[in-house]
Amino acid sequence: MTAEASNALPDAVRATRQRASAQVEAIAGELEEDIAMGLLHPRERLVEDVLMERFDAKRHVVRSALTTLETRGAVERRAHVGALVRSFSAQEVRDLYDVRELVETACARAIATPVPGEQIRPVEDAMHEHEQAVARGDRRSALRANIRFHEHLFGLAPNPFLVESVRRHARMASPIRSLTVVNDKLLERSRDEHRAMVVALREGRTDDLVRVCAAHLEPSRDAYLSLLGEL
């Protein structure tokens, strides 16, 4: 091996690893979106061979993507079965949403309001994107805009650990939230609640912001509990 080749090897290895890491994240992201859209259902098997063909990816990349989703709480593994979209018992739903309400309302209360125009603009932009997607019936774009809206909203809080907790528990709820994405009335409710949150941010009405954030969690929780016959 020449000196030039030896010196180039670390960069080549680094580039290969970066490409693999990007592919893992892309696959995990698309599967997570499919789960949140209800295209992959709770307890549905995620077969490695099928995913390898779908994404034109090697087995270790697919396994890493599934491990990523398992870490995020959207996928579970069972002995002699493999990876499945996570399912929840009624008590698990209640427990998860109790935690979501705690961290999201705490995060909302921590935001210093009224929020200046330059800081609130990303929240407003995501709100408008969500409204437009709902109006044209584009559920996938609505889902993406909804995620951006909440990331920008809760990102206004000064506590990064609290913000990350909100994000982590929201991701865990992806299989639960899928039941609301296909419901037009609930999408419209979500749109209206986003507007109320933005008004509260602008006008410094922290109590209203906290109240709407708590109410915003109810439809997905209740839809899943209803599906289980527990509501």
Residue 45 has pLDDT above 70, yes or no: yes
225 contacts: CB under 8 Å, gap ≥ 6: 90, 93, 94, 231
| Least confident stretch, 76-80, 97-101, 103-107 | 76-80
Percent of the chain with pLDDT over 70: 96
Distance, CA of 219 to CA of 196 (rounded, Å): 16
Which amino acid is located at 37 in the chain? M
Q: What is the pLDDT of residue 226?
A: 94
- Widest distance between CA atoms in the chain: 70
Closest Cα partner for 201 from 133, 135, 127?
Answer: 127
Which amino acid is located at 51 in the chain? L
Residue 5 has pLDDT above 80, yes or no: no
- Phi–psi pair at 47, nearest 5 degrees: -85, 125
